[in-house]
Chains A and B, each alone.
Chain A
Amino acid sequence: MSAVTVPSAASYLEDGFSLWSWLSSVDHKRIAVLYAISITLFFFIGGAAATLIRLELVTPTGDVVSAETYNKLFTMHGVIMVWFFLIPSIPSTMGNFLVPLMIGARDLAFPRLNLASWYLYIAGGVFTVGALLMGGVDTGWTFYTPFSTMFSNTHVFAAVAGVFVVGFSTILTGINFIVTIHTMRAPGMTWFRLPLFIWCMYATSVIFVLATPVLAMTLFLMSIERFFGVGVFDPALGGDPLLFQHLFWFYSHPAVYVMILPAMGVVSEIITCFARKNVFGYRAMAYAVLAIAIIGFLVWGHHMFVSGQSIYAGTVFSILTFLVAIPSAIKVFNWTATLYKGSISFHAPMLYVLGFIALFTIGGMTGLFLASLAIDVHVHDTYFVIAHFHYIMVGGAVMAFLGGMHFWWPKMTGRMYSDAWARFAAILVFFGFNLTFFPQFVLGYLGMPRRYHEYPPEFQMLNVLSSAGASILAVGYLLPLCYLLWSLRYGKPAGPNPWRATGLEWKTTSPPSTGNFATVPVVTEGPYAYSRQERPDER
């Protein structure tokens, strides 16, 4: 691999210090930082809602907030976490920062479109937070009709407008990534020399562009029905509420793959670096990513097994759901096999990644319970489902997000953080997470339904355990905020490649200059050419 990149210009962080230079920048790295700040803000708003929810659920009666408020809390938690944190998190921060660097390009294909994406994200956020400040929404993040169209008295339109707008943000990002990856790879960077993170960003972008327009139109139809009282979702008018569910989940199931595929990309980058080894089965990993994206479009009906859809539809969706689990399983096995005969070190990014593999495995396996028709009839709409998706989204995607932030922090900021604090936080998050969500599997099978403000007293102990875990989890999430920000001022300078990782991004300075590479690199080998005899620096 061609190594020389002379740092010709100032780092991207020093390329203008005014606020306007940041808000008008079309540099993908600056836009990534803008996104990082905004999604962190939304994460803590969504987290605040979660805190209140878990506080309420410590006791069986509704004594902390009213029923209306509780319903608004879980709606806001879902809307903000799904659309303003999970979906954009890795693609818009690490994707934006790394896609050009990893393929040897100077920027994305459409830098101004990239900035437009961020402004659309902020505009969507304004609408949604506006809905919150005006009094909130109580439909659940799923906006099921006819409750959302004909019965809810809350600010549905404002929230839906926010989601509609932020959808376009992701569509533009998806277009940008697809075109960049297809047309702007450095010479020698063939498809099968791409880092798996790029494969994951590509598959995620395909989902962005194909699924999100369906959500946009569905929400639009729902809003018109709410406004004009005429529409296709109301049985009294000859419509069908199930049509809404089909359209909604046609987007929302691929959306969950949008949340996990980038995380899987991060895991592949980190595990190869800290095991000093090429990933096991690179081609299988790349094909698995595509398979997940494609089959992921065919399984939406598994959210609707008891909705009133035909049992034959249920059967088809059940089979397809089992099929989509296979490529995911392959990835877990391949990551584990990557550790075999590696040379493994346990810096914070690796701890997050090892935790991801364990938790994603549990979350993925519980997905199989849900794919089984007979079991789903019992546990649908109970805490079992909540536990399942939090294992994937929080135990999986959020851990990978944190792992990635810790891995590329030196590259993005030029600073090292305290590895001791970082490892402590990672372990705290792992334990807090399990204490929060494992009891919820038990609660779900016992029959505790979702979205319940009050519950029968025999469920209390498990709820108390869950809330206790949540408090530990909260500390685990606040810690990185502290030591990472601290490192911006007081952290040791990182140097270009503190982890001695492969990958073109590590061939630039830390932080990179605005144009990334002084000369276009030429690629002559695969992405994880770690020598097995190497011993990494002990840091």
Chain B
Amino acid sequence: MWSFPLFPEKASALASSVDIVFFVWLALAGLVASTVAFLIVFFAVKYRSGSSANRETADEQAQNRINRRIEIAWMTIPLVLFMAMFAWSAEIYYDYATPPANAMVVYVVGKQWMWKLEHAGGRREIDELHVPAGRPVKLVMTSQDVIHDFFMPVFRIKQDVLPGRYTTLWFEATKPGDYQLFCSQYCGTDHSRMVGRVVVMEPAAFERWLASGNSTGSMAAQGAAHFREYGCSGCHGASASVHAPKLEGLFGRPVQLADGSTVIADDRYIHDSVLLPRKEITAGYAPIMPSFQGQITEDALLEIIEYVKSLKTAQPGEVR
């Protein structure tokens, strides 16, 4: 109990950048706070009631001019400092918000009170995230119930996880090890038990780990199974007689909607099309798709999305 950490480990380049900003703020805050404290103590002692300090002001006008200059100084100097710190911090924040295109994707579903993760290759985890060192990893996350938050102190990163939406975060781990994972948005009774581990492995070890284990096929393959199981192919499949949008080549492309607007067919679009089909009607199609709200779980939906993604390069009618 007597040896306890005072500062967290770090395991990514962005984490180091954040720490530097932190230390600069620490220095500035320390400087200001100690200057104020020092002056308070100094003035309190020097000008204590009954002391013989000189309290006269020889030239009031001159003193007033100096005072006004001091006031302007202690408005503009903080302003300049703050804007500089803002810009530095915002730059790192934008880095946080832009995952590299080649990031390895892992899907996360938070629910009361556990994290369910699935790698694209199909390997599933509960309350644990295995990642390789030296490779950017992007998490695509949603919640099954209330708002949660995926927090990994070692990477200095967190992101709220919402129902009905996908949020993302990305990081690139530099150092193998076991690190903490917390839920950091209050979510009910066992909020403090919704914790786990992030395991950063050497790339080779990670590949071995990925290959072993409980995969029942890649996410896309499982998605294909769901696609048949829930009857999606009945309308969207090659031999469907119903007039429904084709999904081959759809993912990532713009879609023209009935009200004239255009959206990009991304994860969110597929998600909402399945659960809230009346929200965005494709131009030229009738709003007859039923909603699968309550029937398809968030996990299964992520697999279906992976399947639709895999059709990006398919031709209509090509069976996958």
Contacts and interface: CB of A to CB of B under 8 A. Distances in A.
A89 B36 CA distance: 27
A111 B183 CA distance: 50
Contact of A140 (B1, B2, B186): B186
A307 B188 CA distance: 17
Contacts of B7: 442, 445-446
B55 A343 contact: yes
A226 interface: no
Interface in B145-186: 145-147, 149, 151, 153-154, 156-160, 162-165, 167, 180, 182-186
A341 B57 contact: yes
Contacts of A462: 4
B130 interface: no
B187 to A, nearest CB: 6
B49 A345 contact: yes
Interface stretch (A258-266, A361-369, A468-476): A361-369
A318 B186 contact: no
Given A341-B47, A377-B96, A147 B39 contact: no
B32 interface: yes
B240 interface: no
B8 A446 contact: yes
Interface string A349-386: 00000100110011001101101111101101110000
Contacts of A343: 47-50, 55
B260 interface: no
Contacts of B97: 311
A460 B5 CA distance: 10
A220 to B, nearest CB: 21
Interface string B29-42: 10011001101100
B71 A147 contact: no
Interface in A140-156: 140, 144, 146-147, 150-152
B4 to A, nearest CB: 4
Interface in A120-168: 138, 140, 144, 146-147, 150-152
A454 interface: yes
A147 B71 CA distance: 48
B46 to A, nearest CB: 9
A326 B75 contact: yes
Given A236-B164, A311-B94, A450-B186, A344 B180 contact: no
A390 B22 CA distance: 20
A326 B156 CA distance: 28
A460 B185 contact: no
Nearest to A378: B156
A378 B20 CA distance: 13
Given A329-B78, A380-B158, A451-B191, A357 B186 contact: no
B41 to A, nearest CB: 9
Contact of B279 (A238, A375, A458, A536): A238
Interface in B43-100: 43-44, 47-50, 53-55, 57, 67, 70-71, 74-75, 78-79, 82-83, 85-86, 89-90, 92-94, 96-97
Interface residues of A, number: 90
Contacts of A346: 44, 48
A132 B8 CA distance: 38
B120 interface: no
B89 A330 contact: no
A281 B1 contact: no
B192 interface: yes
B98 to A, nearest CB: 9
B34 to A, nearest CB: 10
A63 interface: no
B184 A460 contact: no
Contacts of B17: 374
B155 to A, nearest CB: 9
A367 to B, nearest CB: 10
Contacts of B96: 374, 377
A539 to B, nearest CB: 12
B193 interface: yes
B90 A315 contact: yes
B158 A381 contact: yes
B93 A314 contact: yes
A372 B83 CA distance: 10
B18 interface: yes
B165 A342 contact: no
Contact of A374 (B28, B89, B158, B189): B89
Contacts of B67: 280-281, 337
Contacts of A236: 163-164, 275, 293
A449 interface: yes
Contacts of A147: 146-147, 186-188
Nearest to B8: A446
Nearest to A139: B186
Interface in A66-90: 67-68, 71
24 contacts: A144-B186, A151-B112, A235-B163, A236-B164, A306-B149, A308-B162, A311-B97, A322-B85, A323-B79, A325-B78, A325-B82, A326-B75, A329-B74, A333-B36, A337-B67, A343-B49, A344-B43, A358-B33, A368-B82, A375-B25, A445-B22, A451-B191, A452-B192, A456-B195
Interface of A: 62, 67-68, 71, 138, 140, 144, 146-147, 150-152, 235-236, 238, 241-242, 275-276, 280-281, 284, 306-308, 311, 314-315, 318-319, 322-323, 325-326, 329-330, 332-334, 336-337, 339-346, 354, 357-358, 361-362, 365-366, 368-369, 371-375, 377-378, 380-382, 442, 445-447, 449-456, 458-462, 532-533, 535-536, 538
Q: Which 4 A-B pairs have the closest CB atoms?
A: A235-B164, A447-B153, A373-B93, A365-B29
